Structure 1
């Protein structure tokens, strides 16, 4: 009887297992939450995008380098072929103080501000000696020396001249006869025209330091119309009329 009961139980257990299998369906492998293929691929997308960004940045950099070569190479070749360019000189301000003129005497103080720029790409300029002048017509009224300085490539520097003429004393040159009378008349008519010039001894040096060239320059800021404050003869204050900065002519001669 024991064997008979065990035989009768076996089909029942198989039938029960079949029913349990039918109630719990198996998930496909692709939907297995623990499968590696189900892991999001967002990180992989970031990793794959890094080389693309690097390539794009490299393309932009190379394009800028190529553009710089196209723009600056002709300028460098011109400078190497024809020699360094003269500095760019601009007059940015001019005022006069204590201006007093008569038929026999003149006193004045000129305050001149200039901006000097080096336009060269492969040469720096060292200004060994600088002298500034104020002229009326073709006659020098006052002289001042400026401290030497250097100017690297594509840079600018401010230069200030403070010139004085006091009763023709010291090393100040005298005026021609009749010029004081003309200057006095010009002031009454509305203003006096002066000129500012410089004598410069300079040295050009290339960035490679293998060559040096000495030059002499004569920057000229001409026809500077200065008007004086009406009714303030004792103060003698005058200011430049017209737009600033004003470009100056710079002739240059190699020694």
Structure 2
């Protein structure tokens, strides 16, 4: 039999004298489900561009939203210059508080959170001094280590200010102020303030231009409540809600 791509089938004889006939058949596919495979392939091909378009639209929407949100802030910073840091007092406690008509001893634990709100400028705190005051009179001071804050970052500062006992009268404190503080302590509440003196430098992220400033963060009228019956240990804590946002005036140096 000659080689052929067509298949042949023997037709049986239905009657005497009939001779066999060879009937050609069309080629038979070895993949009966080839149509479904082709359909699936075209479905996958048509779905892929749809997913890509959807992903691109999401990305484009996020870019547009970022421009809408941050463009006014960037424009404001370019027009008015860098903003002052955001300073919040998150905790304040007093230990070993003892006041008399001639003397005062105390230790203050202060925790501050400082954030740089600027999008284009980092800030370096070159010199920092922290104070505790009573009626605008400084009671204790602490110098802190310099540090920097990149754009849109924050950090936490822990200050421990101590006022030691003096031999004789303390020259920084007047007797009238000590008497008033004694009465406040007997009533269970003494009001202090926490302030800082800061010398800082702003540097732009694009041009690295330097701007030297002086800041005076002020956390005022902080009401310290003392535990009743704990006069001997002199322990008091900040009353009211925390954190407290502090006022931060800033001037060019």
What's the TM-score, normalizing by structure 2? 0.86
Q: How does 1:149-160 map to 2 (within 5 A)?
A: 149-160=147-158
Q: How many residues align?
A: 235
Task: Give 5+ residue unaligned stretches, structure 2.
Answer: 1-15
Distance 1:63 1:107 in 2: 60
Q: How far 1:48 sits from its partner (Å)? A: 2.7
What SS is found at the alignment partner of 1:127?
strand
Structure 2 vs 1, CA of residues 160 and 103 (structure 1 numbering), >3 Å: closer, same or farther? same
State the alpha-carbon separation in 2 of the partners of residues 84 and 173 from structure 1. 40
1:14-43 Cα distance to aligned partner (Å, 9 max, x none)? 3x438xx6xxx968x8x9564796352213
Match of 2:17? Answer: 12
User: Aligned residue for 1:7?
Assistant: none
Q: Does the CA contact (< 8 Å) of 1:142 and 1:173 recur in 2?
A: no
Pick one of 193, 212, 215 that aligns with 1:214. 212
TM-score (norm: length of structure 1): 0.86
**Mapped contact 1:76–1:121 kept (Cα < 8 A):** yes
* Structure 1: distance between partners of 2:31 and 2:107: 92
Q: Does residue 86 in structure 1 map to residue 84 in structure 2?
A: yes
Partner of 2:143: 145
The one of 126, 141, 156 equivalent to 1:128 is: 126
Q: How does 1:172-211 map to 2 (within 5 A)?
A: 174-211=172-209
Q: State the shift of 1:154 in Å.
A: 1.0
Per the TM alignment, residue 47 of structure 1 is displaced from its structure 2 partner at its CA by: 2.7
Q: Give runs of aligned pairs for residues 1-255 of structure 1, distance below 5 A.
A: 12-14=17-19, 16-17=20-21, 34=31, 38-40=35-37, 41-168=39-166, 174-255=172-253
Structure with the bigger percentage of helix: 1
Shift of 1:204: 0.5
**CA pair 173-68 structure 1, distance change in 2 beyond 3 A:** farther
For residues 138-159 of structure 1, what are the alpha-carbon distances to aligned partners after superposition, in whole Å with 9 as ceiling and x for unaligned? 1000000111100111111001
> Which of structures 1 and 2 has the bigger CA Rg?
1
- Give the Cα–Cα distance (whole angstroms) in 2 for the partners of residues 34 and 109 of structure 1: 88
Give the deviation of 1:44 after TM superposition: 2.9
Whole-Å separation in 2 of the counterparts to 1:96 and 1:200: 24
Displacement of 1:246 in angstroms is: 0.4
Question: What secondary structure is seen at the aligned counterpart in 2 of 1:98?
Answer: strand
Question: What is the rounded CA distance, in whole Å, between the counterparts of 2:138 and 2:118 in structure 1?
Answer: 32
Q: The residue matched to 1:49 in structure 2 has which SS?
A: helix
> Do the aligned residues in 1 keep the contact of 2:102 with 2:175 (CA within 8 Å)?
no
